[in-house]
């Protein structure tokens, strides 16, 4: 019994450090920040933003450099809300332009319950002075659910912040100037459901996009007012599982556009690094990628089951990672419109997934060289002459022969790609995920997964002959092979234009949603329990990783080499060590 109890204690123990090939990541404590010039704090300082925790909840007695401004006010906020209806804690960061290394060039915003806080953030060597918020707001009748800074226009004198609320309103404010504030959808004439995600359009000072639990996306201009009556819309573009409407008006007013996407609520969306595409995930379990300006659907993926809750682009825009109610992280290739890997490490829903641009290692494309024996080639087909890749999302021709040739060429490319470093991986994408299970996972996606070096004859055979057993018929297989630009295809899926619901029995086993054994299954590089409550925040910064859970513990994990770390008694932390 004693042994079992010890094992149970170890399972429930919250970790304060972990190790990867780069070295140790360490959770910074109050003592760390005091030693590094942070403001001194007594033991009575609250270490949470909300109920359920306190100083000492994390080993070391602290929760890093972003900590709650005391649990008393937040407990009051929580107690005034119906139990279980607190919106997720979110953290937004912004870098001020132009950047001055000697200045405090970043600002941070976070919400808890009905409260919104805005602080100066320096770096991991100096703690945030929580006694001096730049701005603090307490809302009545509604709660902040999401927020986003305008990275493009932020300066030391002015920062544009948009905040979405549980009742559907959106506020535009400047926490530095303070007198700047506008409210959109104030009378809830545009949408009555909660705002689930807000993003400024890349490199725009006045346009932003808001998604709602109703399944709609709205494009706003902060310089335009909202009308005094419910907006009237005219259909602008329509495709499989989506429709876009323009607001019929004689004078400029919001919203400029309304997107109806899928079936059920939208949970998150993200713009590609170049700002050209937008990816949306929702309760219907679909990832949809649109070319934003032309409003064309360029790719679709389906979760294994349940809704998709989060999405993130790789730094080069080639891959998207998603997470959701199937407890999986899924990596999808934008160029190939296919799932390239799944990761299983979480025991419950995945709330946030994000790529780490600071440990992602990318190399320039190298010349393709054909590998494999001459006998292998005779068993398959000769590779076609090199040709420029088709535009992202372009629909494949209907011909099954051409379909096989495209897949063969792609396979040959994956097989033949190799590194100048003697076969060592030339590409490593690092991404992380946090979930309802209080687990923090790190994942590595390497070119041995992205470009598998299978025996050539086997690879050619498997790609030339479509797997009809999974899809029922050749026609059905082609139908679901790729939904890139499907609105232009003559081979329609039998769903209403607005509907995004797909027959799971028909979708499973296709490139839209391959079976589990059909794609590589990743194991987490790191999988650690780091909180008592569900995790809702994951932000990668150059010197640290920031995580937060629903009880308001906001933790700062210093990257290797950024703080002094001495191993105690020579013991490494428990858990997965790579």
Mean pLDDT of 25-36: 63
The whole-model pTM stands at: 0.75
Q: What is residue 511's predicted lDDT score, i.e. its pLDDT?
A: 85
Q: Is the dihedral of CA 239, 200, 162, 116 positive or negative?
A: positive
Residue of higher predicted confidence among 210 and 414: 210
Backbone angles phi, psi at 400, to 5 degrees: -70, -30
User: If pLDDT is split at 50, 70 and 90, which confidence band does 420 have?
Assistant: very low
C-beta of residue 260 within 8 angstroms of C-beta of residue 245: yes
What end-to-end distance do the CA atoms of the chain give, in Å?
31
Find out whether 34 and 41 touch, Cβ atoms under 8 Å: yes
- Report residue 30 as tokens: 């109050």
Of 152, 248, 246, 259, residue with least CA distance to 211: 259
* SS3 at position 239: strand
Could you report the per-residue pLDDT of 316-325, keeping only the tens digit for each?
A: 999 999 999 9
- CB atoms inside a 10 Å sphere around CB 234: 8
Q: How confident is the model over 232-242, as pLDDT tens digits?
A: 999 999 999 99
Helix (H) or strand (E) segment spanning residue 339? strand 338-344
pLDDT band at 364 (very low <50, low <70, confident <90, very high): low
The region of weakest confidence among 2-11, 32-41, 445-454, 524-533 is 32-41
Q: How far is CA 96 from the centre of its chain?
A: 23
What span, in angstroms and rounded, lies between the C-alpha atoms of 333 and 274? 16
Contact indicator for 191, 169 with CB cutoff of 8 Å: no
List CB contacts of 550: < 8 A, sequence separation 6 or more: 50, 86, 88, 89, 533, 534, 535, 536
Find the angle CA(489)-CA(290)-CA(280) to the nearest 5 degrees.
120
Top-ranked range on mean pLDDT: pick from 83-97, 185-199, 467-481: 185-199
Q: CA-CA distance, 237 to 244, in Å (whole number)?
A: 5
Mean pLDDT of the chain: 74
- What would the two tokens of residue 223 be? 């310089």
């Amino acid at each position: 019994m004693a042994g079992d109890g010890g094992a149970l204690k170890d399972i429930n123990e919250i970790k304060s450090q972990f190790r990867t090939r780069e070295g140790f990541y360490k959770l910074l404590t109050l003592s760390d920040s005091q030693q590094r010039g942070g403001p001194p704090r007594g033991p009575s300082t609250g270490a949470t933003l909300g109920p359920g925790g306190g100083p000492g909840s994390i080993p070391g007695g602290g929760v890093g450099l972003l900590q709650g401004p005391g649990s008393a006010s937040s407990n009051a906020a929580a107690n005034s809300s119906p139990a279980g209806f607190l919106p997720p804690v979110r953290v937004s960061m912004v870098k001020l332009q132009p950047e001055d290394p000697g200045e405090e060039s970043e600002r941070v915003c976070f919400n808890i319950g009905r409260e919104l806080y805005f602080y100066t953030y320096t770096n991991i060597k100096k703690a945030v002075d929580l006694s001096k918020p730049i701005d603090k707001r307490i809302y009545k009748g509604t709660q902040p659910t999401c927020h986003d800074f305008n990275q493009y226009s932020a300066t030391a004198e002015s920062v544009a912040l948009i905040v979405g609320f549980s009742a559907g309103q959106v506020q535009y404010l400047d926490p530095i100037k303070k007198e700047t504030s506008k409210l959109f959808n104030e009378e809830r004439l545009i949408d009555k459901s909660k705002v689930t995600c807000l993003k400024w359009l890349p490199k725009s000072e006045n346009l932003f996009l808001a998604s709602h639990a109703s399944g709609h996306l709205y494009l706003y201009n902060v310089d335009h007012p909202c009308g005094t009556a419910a907006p009237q819309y005219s259909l602008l573009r329509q495709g499989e599982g989506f429709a876009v409407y323009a607001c019929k008006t004689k004078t400029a007013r919001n919203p400029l556009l309304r997107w109806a996407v899928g079936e059920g609520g939208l949970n998150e969306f993200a713009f590609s690094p170049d700002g050209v595409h937008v990816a949306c995930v929702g309760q219907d379990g679909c990832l949809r990628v649109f070319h934003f300006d032309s409003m064309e659907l360029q790719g679709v993926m389906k979760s294994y089951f349940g809704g998709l809750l989060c999405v993130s682009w790789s730094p080069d825009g080639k891959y998207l990672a998603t997470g959701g109610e199937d407890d999986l992280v899924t990596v999808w290739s934008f160029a190939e419109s296919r799932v390239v890997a799944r990761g299983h490490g979480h025991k419950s829903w995945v709330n946030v997934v994000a790529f780490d641009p600071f440990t992602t290692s990318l190399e320039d494309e190298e010349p393709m060289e054909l590998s494999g024996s001459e006998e292998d080639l005779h068993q398959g087909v000769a590779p076609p002459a090199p040709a420029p890749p088709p535009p992202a999302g372009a629909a494949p021709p209907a011909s099954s022969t051409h379909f096989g040739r495209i897949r063969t060429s792609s396979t040959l490319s994956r097989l033949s790609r190799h590194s100048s470093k003697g076969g060592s991986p030339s590409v490593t994408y690092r991404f992380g995920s946090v979930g309802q299970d209080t687990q923090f996972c790190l994942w590595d996606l390497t070119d041995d997964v992205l470009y598998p070096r299978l025996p050539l004859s086997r690879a050619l055979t498997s790609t030339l002959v479509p797997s009809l057993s999974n899809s029922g018929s050749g026609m059905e297989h082609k139908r679901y092979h790729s939904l890139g630009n499907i609105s232009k295809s003559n081979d329609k899926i039998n769903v209403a234009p607005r509907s995004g619901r797909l027959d799971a029995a028909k979708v499973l086993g296709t490139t839209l949603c391959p079976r589990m054994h059909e794609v590589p299954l990743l194991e987490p590089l790191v999988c650690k329990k780091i909180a008592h409550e569900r995790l809702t925040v994951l932000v990668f910064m150059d010197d640290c990783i920031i995580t937060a859970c629903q009880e308001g513990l906001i933790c700062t994990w210093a990257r290797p080499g950024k703080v002094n770390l001495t191993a105690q008694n020579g013991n490494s932390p428990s858990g997965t060590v790579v």
